[in-house]
């Protein structure tokens, strides 16, 4: 499953929210820092943001996607992407950057830093830390 499949599962899903009623998921943003990641439009037209874990699926598509699963998959995709970018950067190291040779090391450190941040976030999540 990819993050696109997860998003497709969430968008348009019929849900029930305690104290709000039944509605449809219009927008799902699980990658932000806030936990109110799902915009629900009620049957009467009201719109409100909710935490996805507070929603109950009422359609026949199965359970909703857990935010932690979306975040874990996103970290996995980012790690794979950054590792490929780093490998390409190393493979093309001897390629000239006229007037910007000093930039090679700066870009390399930035890629390594981003990769380290994603890896640390994944480790933190596995150890029970924040899910953001």
Total residue count of the chain as it appears in this document: 132
**Same domain membership, residue 50 and residue 13:** yes
pLDDT in tens, 59-111: 888 888 888 888 888 889 999 999 999 999 999 888 888 888 888 899 999 99
pLDDT of residue 130: 58
Q: Domain count of the chain?
A: 2
C-alpha to C-alpha distance for 58 and 7, rounded to whole angstroms? 17
Q: Which domain holds residue 98?
A: 68-126
Q: Quick check: is 54 in a domain?
A: yes
**Same domain membership, residue 121 and residue 76:** yes
pLDDT of residue 42: 95
pLDDT of residue 129: 65
Burial of residue 18 (CB within 10 Å: 0-12, 13-18, 19+) is: exposed
- pLDDT > 80? residue 117: yes
Q: Quick check: is 113 in a domain?
A: yes
Q: Considering only CA atoms, which of 64, 30, 62, 66 is closest in space to residue 49?
A: 30
**Same domain membership, residue 88 and residue 116:** yes
Q: Quick check: is 131 in a domain?
A: no
Last residue of a domain, one of 15, 31, 64: 64
CB atoms under 10 Å from CB of 40, counted, come to 26
Q: Quick check: is 80 in a domain?
A: yes
């Amino acid at each position: 499953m990819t993050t696109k499949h997860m998003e497709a599962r969430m968008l348009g899903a019929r849900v029930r929210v305690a104290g709000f009623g039944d509605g449809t998921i219009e927008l799902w943003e699980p990658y932000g820092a806030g936990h109110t990641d799902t915009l629900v439009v009620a049957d009467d037209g009201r719109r409100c943001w909710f935490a996805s874990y507070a929603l109950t699926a009422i359609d026949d598509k199965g359970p909703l996607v857990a935010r932690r699963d979306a975040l874990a998959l996103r970290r996995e995709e980012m790690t794979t992407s950054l590792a490929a970018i780093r490998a390409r950067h190393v493979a093309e190291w001897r390629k000239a950057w006229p007037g910007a040779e000093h930039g090679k090391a700066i870009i390399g450190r930035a890629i390594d830093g981003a990769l380290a941040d994603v890896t640390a976030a994944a480790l933190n999540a596995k150890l029970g830390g924040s899910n953001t």
